[in-house]
Amino acid sequence: MAWRELPGCRYGFLKGHGLVISDRLLRSWLRCPRKAWQDLHGDPTQRAWHPQRAVQLGQEQQCLSRYGARRGLTMARGAAEAFQGAAAIQGLRLLAREEHLQLRGRAPLLLRRDAESRLGPWSYVPLLVRTGHFINREQRLCLAFLGRLLRAFQGRCPSHGLMLSTGGDCQQVSLDPLQPQLDELLAEMALGLSQPHAPDLIAERKRCAICCWRQPCNAHAAASGHLGDVSGVGAGRRRQLIRLRIHNVAELARSDPDWLGQALAQQGHPSQADHHNALAAALVLQARSQQSQRVQRRPGGAPSARSSLTARLHRAPGVLFYDIEADPDARENYLHGFLIQTRQDPGAPLDLTPDPTGPSPRHHPILCLPHHGDERCWQRIHRLLRRFPGWPLLHYGETERVELLRLAHRVGTGTDLREELKQRLVDVHQLVRQQWVLPLSSYGLKSVATWLGFRWRHPNGEGARAVLWWRHWRRHGHRHDLRRILDYNQDDCQATRVVVAWLLAQEQAPCPKLVGDAVGA
């Protein structure tokens, strides 16, 4: 059956109908059972909106519009059109009851097929939009869930569903083999969601960065010493440590690196003993840094006089801080931002510490719209780089290096010019990881620069939100959306500058301090 409005909250229990499981709750459980439990039972005041879902819905709508236009489909809406045999129905909300469960969901798109149903000599199959290169378990089960809802609506479960990629390819997925898995999943959810306490945190804590419950979960992880909060510990490594009876950060910090290296080698490949010893030493050092909240110089991480960042910047008239803003779903880099920092005193070391009384570095954004093409985008970037010959290009993370060199290659730039560009690019993130152990669970720019005291002008600024601003600007042309993007990019460049200033200060100090108590600790 279809419904227009269902009384009660988005997630929860309806009197007389038992637990309500929606397609959103199903997706939450598949990604993280704790998130689904908190969707149902959590304190709403602790829930913080994240733009990732809005970005995904926008991408879904674009894909469906392109798909319908290519096939000449008129997108109908509502159950009445289904009973009239519309070729395509978009956004139909469906409802089904199974024992003590009530299932409901929204079908992004239903396509008519010639197969008898209670609607008439036709029936519908569900279509979902997927991101990524492959169809994963979550997407298959969500498609099976829509098939279950359609069974209640049209009297038969479709034998297959369709999965549409962002590139426009459509692939059939057989639904019949998925029904037993779906039954098990629904039973598991009914049991887990009825418990009085939230499930454990997931092992792969990187997913928590885009979750609306990240703040209470981060607090819980910190209080419990969750191993997933140690930089370098993923789901597999956490399982290994738990098998060795290391259950939290404190126990990892107390571990003997030599013993841990041998134990990891016995669990893995004994022939790779050197690798496991180095890994164990790095994990214990990271845990100790996070436990004590102090910075530590990484063993062997002190740069030589010739390879230091100070030496690389010594003769440069200035430096360029570089950051890209991208829409990964559309596979486009829409903004290349440069912060131009000129050396004020040619005879003195380069000073990057913020000076409220001095001139501010100039931000030079290069906006690259899709219709500009690679040639025009590269010409504008190359023109800027030629104005500052030999100036180092400082960026945080490998994205900028990879994408800039890839762009240069696509437009047919000569080998010599690309080689020169490689020599100018300096990955600040790599330098931080090679030289220092920070008391942080993440070495991303937001984490490191915030720890150093930097604050973004938009407190909730992040990559997904910038993508949302970008798409709003493309669609509506509001200047404030573009202004936010430019501010965010400039702040990313400024944040990179703050990290570089800290690295230079450590190199130039007569006796580098382990400044855990001097910086944000």
Q: What is the pLDDT of residue 191?
A: 93
217, 193 in Cβ contact below 8 A? no
Residue 511: band (very low, low, confident or very high) from pLDDT cuts 50, 70, 90 = low
Q: What is the pLDDT of residue 271?
A: 63
Pairing relationship of beta strands 12-14 and 296-297 according to DSSP bridges: unpaired
Question: Which residues 6+ apart lie within 8 Å of 367 measured at CB?
Answer: 334, 335
Q: Is the pLDDT of residue 419 over 90?
A: yes
Q: What is the pLDDT of residue 376?
A: 95
Q: What is the pLDDT of residue 521?
A: 32
Distance CA 281, CA 261 (A): 7
**Chain segment 66-91, per-residue pLDDT in tens:** 999 999 998 998 899 999 999 999 99
Residue 100: band (very low, low, confident or very high) from pLDDT cuts 50, 70, 90 = confident
Residue 358: band (very low, low, confident or very high) from pLDDT cuts 50, 70, 90 = low
Q: Is the pLDDT of residue 229 over 70?
A: yes
Q: Is the pLDDT of residue 121 over 60?
A: yes
The strand pairing partners of 129, in sequence order, are 164
% of residues, the chain, pLDDT over 90: 64
Q: What is the pLDDT of residue 206?
A: 78
**Chain segment 170-226, per-residue pLDDT in tens:** 999 999 999 999 999 999 999 999 999 999 988 878 778 888 998 899 899 889 999
Q: Is the pLDDT of residue 150 over 50?
A: yes
Residue for token digits 């059956």? 1
Chain centre distance of CA 158: 34
Chain centre distance of CA 75: 32
Q: Is the pLDDT of residue 354 over 60?
A: yes
- What is the chain's mean pLDDT, rounded? 87
359, 507 in Cβ contact below 8 A? no
Crossing angle (nearest 10°) for helices 52-71 and 463-476: 40
Distance CA 511, CA 314 (A): 20
Q: Where are the beta strands (DSSP E) in 85-240?
A: 88-98, 101-113, 123-130, 160-165, 170-174
Q: Is the pLDDT of residue 519 over 70?
A: no
Residue 348: band (very low, low, confident or very high) from pLDDT cuts 50, 70, 90 = low
Residue 498: band (very low, low, confident or very high) from pLDDT cuts 50, 70, 90 = very high
Q: Supply the DSSP symbol for 119.
A: T
Q: What is the mean pLDDT of residues 26-45?
A: 93
Residue 103: band (very low, low, confident or very high) from pLDDT cuts 50, 70, 90 = very high
Distance CA 255, CA 518 (A): 27
**Chain segment 261-285, per-residue pLDDT in tens:** 999 988 876 667 788 899 999 999 9
Q: What is the pLDDT of residue 452?
A: 95
Question: Which residues 6+ apart lie within 8 Å of 203 measured at CB?
Answer: 228, 234, 235, 238, 239
**Chain segment 462-480, per-residue pLDDT in tens:** 888 888 899 889 888 889 9
% of residues, the chain, pLDDT over 70: 91
Residue 13: band (very low, low, confident or very high) from pLDDT cuts 50, 70, 90 = very low
Q: What is the pLDDT of residue 314?
A: 80
Q: What is the pLDDT of residue 485?
A: 94
Q: Is the pLDDT of residue 520 over 70?
A: no
Quick one: tokens of 402?
């990879």
Comparing CA positions, the residue from 434, 438, 433 lying closest to residue 292 is: 438
Residue with the bigger pLDDT between 28 and 514: it is 28
H-helix or E-strand spanning residue 21: strand 18-22
Q: What is the pLDDT of residue 270?
A: 67
Between 3-12, 58-67, 279-288, 407-416, the lowest mean confidence (pLDDT) is in 3-12
Which three-class secondary structure state does DSSP give residue 441? coil
Q: Is the pLDDT of residue 43 over 70?
A: yes
Q: What is the pLDDT of residue 516?
A: 43
**Chain segment 293-329, per-residue pLDDT in tens:** 999 999 887 777 667 888 888 888 999 999 999 988 7
Q: What is the pLDDT of residue 33?
A: 94
Q: What is the pLDDT of residue 370?
A: 83
Global pTM reads 0.84
Q: Where are the beta strands (DSSP E) in 262-331?
A: 296-297, 318-327
Q: Which residue type does 24 have?
A: R
Q: What is the mean pLDDT of residues 245-261?
A: 94
Q: What is the pLDDT of residue 234?
A: 87
**CB neighbours (10 Å) of residue 494?**
20
**Chain segment 152-167, per-residue pLDDT in tens:** 999 999 999 999 998 8
Residue for token digits 């601003």? 469
**Chain segment 30-39, per-residue pLDDT in tens:** 999 999 999 9
Distance CA 462, CA 450 (A): 13
330, 468 in Cβ contact below 8 A? no
Q: Is the pLDDT of residue 7 over 50?
A: no
Q: Is the pLDDT of residue 6 over 80?
A: no
Crossing angle (nearest 10°) for helices 428-435 and 479-508: 40
Which three-class secondary structure state does DSSP give residue 386? helix
Q: What is the pLDDT of residue 4?
A: 39
